[in-house]
């Protein structure tokens, strides 16, 4: 059996299953392992699993064991493994994000790029449909995040070189304004990203229009930041003007993955097999890919990797210059927006699930925000007035970026780490 595959046999899929050959008798230990087992159908079929629809009829009248296994879940999306070679995404289609994964994949395939992608992908359902189903071949490897700590410096350099080649090729594709590969508007998931996840804002073609479109949220958010800041406090107007004057220019607009964290890079034997999860991809301002590679890192491993990468992809913009002129100004705007008391109608409606069963009474909930709630974007002005007693919130973080990650060097590796406040 190939690495990363599952053996779809009864003994592999069912704990405590007992093999009973023809004419054999159960031992006392086998009977104990089976426990109380009712093998009579009797009456109407009863539902055993609300997730897949399995009933007592299916259990008692079939030898079938599903080759579909739950692989990963998001709020209202499920990724299922189909056998060993395929995966299928089951997702709602009401946000317009879900089709972007396949749309970008097809664009890159049609352009004949060498960018590592899954071998096959098929989309069932068009944008606007209630549900989207995406079938893709499975890249049989591990995430770069998982293997990175085990790699030698030479192996890390090899992975970085592959990502460098990918980004250079990806960034050759440009557009006159922010957009997806089909020309449709590009969701603002950089500054104006709301929670719950919803397309409330799109990215316009200039930084002035971008900031003007979220002007009210920025001003109110800055006020909330000051409420959570110890004295001495700068003026709200000076913070607002600082954001507007230091925010980086947008053009040129280059094709960008926008979520290139190491969990989205699949590797095997030192080779990058596929870069996955292109839902956010589009033509973004030139700095977004680099900004997101640090901001959306799943661990400190990414700082070592992407310092190598960006030193080659953008040698004209050294790390500290990027941090001062791009990362921090964008982060200031994103922080201010996140402090704004934004609410979305019906976002807290829920369906409370009953217990799974009597012996396992686990009970979750289905959130309305994930099931087609209105989610109208509003600023809660009453919340803005309630300033007293607001807990302090730390909105700066310390990120470790490697200044020198090339093989060799006399000093220990740990002494070649530099802490950069972002």
Instruction: Supply the pLDDT for residue 42.
Output: 80
Coil/strand/helix, residue 255: strand
Do 217 and 263 fall into the same domain? yes
* Residue 3 burial (CB count, 10 A): 9
Residue 383, class by beta-carbon neighbours within 10 Å (0-12 exposed, 13-18 middle, 19+ buried)? Answer: middle
Instruction: Supply the pLDDT for residue 106.
Output: 97
Do 394 and 246 fall into the same domain? yes
Do 104 and 151 fall into the same domain? no
Do 259 and 407 fall into the same domain? yes
In this structure, the strands spanning 365-367 and 350-352 are: antiparallel
Handedness of CA 96, 98, 103, 104 (dihedral sign): positive
Do 221 and 103 fall into the same domain? no
Q: Which of 103, 138, 173 is the last residue of a domain?
A: 138
CATH number at residue 346: 3.90.1200
Do 182 and 75 fall into the same domain? no
Number of domains observed in the structure of the chain:
2
Give the distance, in angstroms, between the CA of residue 372 and the centroid of all CA atoms in the same chain: 20
Residue 87, class by beta-carbon neighbours within 10 Å (0-12 exposed, 13-18 middle, 19+ buried)? Answer: buried
Q: Which of 111, 138, 165 is the last residue of a domain?
A: 138
The model's pTM: 0.86
Handedness of CA 345, 348, 352, 353 (dihedral sign): positive
Do 206 and 344 fall into the same domain? yes
Coil/strand/helix, residue 122: strand
CA distance 66 to 8: 9
Do 117 and 214 fall into the same domain? no
CA distance 184 to 180: 5
Q: Does a structural domain hold residue 14?
A: no
Do 252 and 401 fall into the same domain? yes
Beta-carbon contacts of 410 under 8 Å, excluding residues fewer than 6 positions away, are none
Place of tokens 């549900």: 131
Range of the domain at 106: 68-138
Do 162 and 197 fall into the same domain? yes
Do 410 and 295 fall into the same domain? yes
Do 72 and 166 fall into the same domain? no
pLDDT in tens, the chain (422 residues): 677 888 899 988 888 899 988 888 888 888 888 888 888 888 899 999 988 999 999 999 999 999 999 999 988 899 999 999 999 999 987 666 778 999 999 999 999 999 999 999 999 987 778 888 999 999 999 999 999 999 999 999 999 999 999 999 999 999 999 999 999 999 999 999 887 777 789 999 999 999 999 999 999 999 998 887 777 778 899 999 999 999 999 999 999 999 999 999 999 999 999 999 999 999 999 999 999 999 999 899 999 999 999 999 999 999 999 999 999 999 999 999 999 999 988 888 999 999 988 888 999 999 988 888 888 998 888 875 544 333 333 334 444 444 444 433 333 333 333 444 44
């Amino acid at each position: 059996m190939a690495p990363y595959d599952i053996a779809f046999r009864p003994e592999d899929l069912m704990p405590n299953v007992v093999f009973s050959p023809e004419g054999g008798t159960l031992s006392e230990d086998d009977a104990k392992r089976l426990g109380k087992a009712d093998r009579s159908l009797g009456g109407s079929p009863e539902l055993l699993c609300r997730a897949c629809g399995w009933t007592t009829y299916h259990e008692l009248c079939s030898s079938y064991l599903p080759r579909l296994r739950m692989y990963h879940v998001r709020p209202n999306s499920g990724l299922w493994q189909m056998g060993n070679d395929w995966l299928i995404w089951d997702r709602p289609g009401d946000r317009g994000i879900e089709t972007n994964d396949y749309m970008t994949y097809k664009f890159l395939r049609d352009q004949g790029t060498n960018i590592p992608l899954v071998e096959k992908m098929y989309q069932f359902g068009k944008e606007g449909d209630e549900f989207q189903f995406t079938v893709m071949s499975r890249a049989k490897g591990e995430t770069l995040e998982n293997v990175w700590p085990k790699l030698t410096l030479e192996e890390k350099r090899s992975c970085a070189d592959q990502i460098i080649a990918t980004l250079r090729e990806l960034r050759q594709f440009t557009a006159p304004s922010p957009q997806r590969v089909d020309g449709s508007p590009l969701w603002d998931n950089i500054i104006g990203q709301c929670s719950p996840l919803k397309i409330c804002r799109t990215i316009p073609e200039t930084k002035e229009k971008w900031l003007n479109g979220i002007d009210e949220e920025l001003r109110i958010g800055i006020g909330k930041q000051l409420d959570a800041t110890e004295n001495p406090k700068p003026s709200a107007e000076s913070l607002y003007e600082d954001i507007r004057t230091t925010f980086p220019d947008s053009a040129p607009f280059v094709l960008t993955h926008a979520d290139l964290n190491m969990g989205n890079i699949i590797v095997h034997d030192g080779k990058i097999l596929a870069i996955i999860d292109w839902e956010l991809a589009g033509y973004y301002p030139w700095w977004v890919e680099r900004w997101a590679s640090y901001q959306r890192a799943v661990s400190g491993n990414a700082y070592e990797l992407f310092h190598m990468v960006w030193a080659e992809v953008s040698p004209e913009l050294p790390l500290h210059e990027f941090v001062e002129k791009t990362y921090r100004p964008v982060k200031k705007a994103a922080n201010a927006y996140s402090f704004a008391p934004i609410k979305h109608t019906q976002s807290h409606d829920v369906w409370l699930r009953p217990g799974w069963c009597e012996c396992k009474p686990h009970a979750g909930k289905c959130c309305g925000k994930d099931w087609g709630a209105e989610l109208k974007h509003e600023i809660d002005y009453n919340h803005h007035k309630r300033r007293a007693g607001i807990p302090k919130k730390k909105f700066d973080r310390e990120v470790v970026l490697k200044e020198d990650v090339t093989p060799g060097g006399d000093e220990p590796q740990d002494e070649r780490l530099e802490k950069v406040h972002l």
